[in-house]
Amino acid sequence: MNQAAALDVMLTLRESTMEKHKLAERHPLQHAMATGKLPRAQYAAMTAQMMIVHRELFAALNRSRGVPPIAAVLRDYHDHEPSCRRDIEHFGVDASLVVASASTSRFIAEIKDAESSSPLALLGALYVLEGATNGGKYIARVVKLAYRLDAGKGAESLEPYAEAQPQRWEEFKQSMRGVAFGEGEIAHLVAMACRTFDAVAEIGDDVLNGRV
């Protein structure tokens, strides 16, 4: 595949996951968070579950750096587990005691399966979580006000790059576009990205229904 064709990967991911993205934004937990109405305990619980997701995804990607596309895209700053951990600890949650919900556990199992069978697909999950930093900075403003967070402590995971966010997203897009993905590989990326949107929604259901 030539470079011109490779440039379509980000557009394909965006268009192919558009409906999943819209559903994710309408999820009750996400809506409550974005409007400052999510209880503090549920915000901390969701952040704790995402801490596990970030930790396991980055670990799987890091172990797969021998795969050229992953080596070309992955950066150390893509590890958002530390910012999630600092956030929940700000709310008095002991990160060492956090247990994965049923939905989180299922998704982690899928991450590990992908690592074994098609590690490149993990970039589809990374696409979703890195893309979330685009809207995260706006949600962070609401969260800071709703919970009266001092100096933003407790909302770092929503805006892990702070003022560097546009630059980080541009770097991610360019590194993805620099890989000559084949059609089959892009299909794997799209499938994992869609699954990631679904998994985050399912984890949100666990949190809202007290299953964490």
End-to-end CA distance of the chain: 45
Burial class (CB within 10 angstroms; exposed 0-12, middle 13-18, buried 19+) of 171: middle
CB 101 within 8 A of CB 108: no
**Among the four given CATH numbers 3.30.420.270, 3.30.420.40, 1.10.357.10, 1.20.910.10, the one describing domain 3-208:** 1.20.910.10
Mean pLDDT of 11-33: 96
Query: How far is the C-alpha of 181 from the C-alpha of 186, rounded, in Å?
Result: 6
Which amino acid is located at 152 in the chain? G
Mean pLDDT of 162-184: 96
pLDDT digits (tens, 9 = 90+) for 64-111: 999 999 999 999 999 999 999 999 999 999 999 999 999 999 999 999
Tell me the domain boundaries of the chain: 3-208
Q: Is 133 left (phi over 0), alpha (psi -120 to 50) or beta?
A: alpha
Query: How far is the C-alpha of 125 from the C-alpha of 4, rounded, in Å?
Result: 24
Q: Is the pLDDT of residue 158 over 60?
A: yes
